[in-house]
Amino acid sequence: LNFCSLTIGHLIGKGAFGFVYQGLAKNINSKDKITTVAIKTVRGKLINK
């Protein structure tokens, strides 16, 4: 899934490890279709290698 295909919406939950947002994803099941998804994020530092 391409990150550019996601639209992040509102926060729906959080826990010890990160946050969960409601979002929209384009072209997951079929071309030109938009699907409601849950987007999990992880707390922590970004590491560039």
Does the annotation list 26 as a binding residue?
no
* Nearest to 25, CA basis, from 47, 48, 3, 49: 3
Annotated binding-site residues read 40
Annotated binding-site residues for ATP read 40
